[in-house]
Amino acid sequence: MANLAKPKSKKNSILDPGCGTAILSCSLIETLVGKCDLEEIDLTLYETDLSIINETEKVIDFLVLWLTEKNIKINFCIIQSDFVLDNSEAFAQNSLFGIEKIDKYDYIISNPPYFKISKSDKRASLAKILVYGQPNIYSIFMGLSAKILKSDGELIFITPRSFAAGNYFKAFRQSFFKDVSISHIHIFESRNKMFKNDKVLQENIILRATKQINKQIKITVSECYKGLNEPSESIFNAETLIDFKSIDKILFIPSNEEEVKTINIFKQWKSSLNDYNIQISTGPVVAFRCAEYLKTEGTLNQTLSPLI
């Protein structure tokens, strides 16, 4: 993730809105030191898990010593409060009373928390521009971060890929793609190897986005972390993967040539499923939970329909 960052000026501001033990921030700083002539860093860290704050402080103390030896000044703060609540003014439509009060950053790097929150949650209420249905906190972290980047800033996140489609993330996509432009997506083909120690079964991606418009998106693919140094690589026009003129703004993330062909076929379709009196609903029918209703043989008729 740190290697995706592009060098900027001699003084940089960095935000990690859910820092844990600050490993991402440290990796980013180490990478930037190796790429450019840094003189000063402003580092802002958010963490609400009080059980690890002592470890975070030890890591930052070491980071300060490491930078001091290189004659690089660092100003840092570890904020033990909610990132969304602290920066909610960025959601204000009127810039005179909203975004102008909020600090902006050159880099925002994060492995945000992943969990669903209710629509009545204060964070969901404040981030209503991003919310439809049952929101997931990670999308609010992403959407808010996109609003507090500097004009040449960049955002680097590792998240589930669920935001790319579906009604629940529709409002998020509309806001996110208005604020930033994707330049790079890395796909992990394995659902269970990246965070196997935490028993996470999730399709994860790494995403880099900037305030500046990117006409092309690079997609790299590895099975898990072991293939990160030698991923397969493809370049797509941004408009091929995102229809910016559509309301849904679905993000296609093909990981192989077969998926590219499938997307091309899909985009040639002129009708919707509703035109054929077919409707789709995800979730209610799960095969192993509905075994009593399933038959393995018989003829399709008014009483038998295919389970697709």
* Strand (E) or helix (H) holding 8: none
Range of the domain at 166: 2-269
Contact 212, 183 (CB under 8 A): no
Contact 116, 136 (CB under 8 A): yes
In the beta sheet, which residues pair with residue 15? 44, 108
> Is the residue at 242 inside a domain?
yes
Domains: count for the chain: 1
Instruction: Classify burial at 253, counting beta carbons within 10 Å of its beta carbon; exposed 0-12, middle 13-18, buried 19 or more.
Output: buried
> Is the residue at 63 inside a domain?
yes
> Is the residue at 255 inside a domain?
yes
Sort strands 181-188 and 216-222 into parallel, antiparallel or unpaired. Answer: parallel
> Is the residue at 288 inside a domain?
no
Q: Structure tokens of 113?
A: 């928390």
Contact 134, 181 (CB under 8 A): no
CA separation, residue 62 to residues 53, 55, 57, 108, 129 (Å): 14, 11, 9, 21, 40
- Inform me whether the pLDDT recorded for 79 exceeds 50: yes
> Is the residue at 292 inside a domain?
no
Q: What is the pLDDT of residues 22-76, one digit of tens each?
A: 999 999 999 999 998 899 999 999 999 999 999 999 999 999 999 999 999 999 9
Q: Residue 10: which of 40, 43, 31, 35 has the closest Cα?
A: 40
> Is the residue at 284 inside a domain?
no
Q: Structure tokens of 208?
A: 């880099």
- For the segment 104-116, the average pLDDT, to the nearest whole number, is 95
What is the 8-class DSSP label of residue 186? E
The domain that holds 251 is classified in CATH as 3.40.50.150
Q: Structure tokens of 239?
A: 């408009």
Query: Residues 231, 109, 158, CA angle at the centre, nearest 5°?
Result: 45
> Is the residue at 303 inside a domain?
no
Taking the model in full, what pTM does it have? 0.85
> Is the residue at 104 inside a domain?
yes
Sort strands 73-79 and 40-46 into parallel, antiparallel or unpaired. Answer: parallel
Cα(228)–Cα(233) distance, integer angstroms: 11
Contact 250, 243 (CB under 8 A): yes
Q: What is the pLDDT of residues 263-297, one digit of tens each?
A: 999 888 889 889 999 888 777 777 788 888 888 88
- Inform me whether the pLDDT recorded for 95 exceeds 80: no
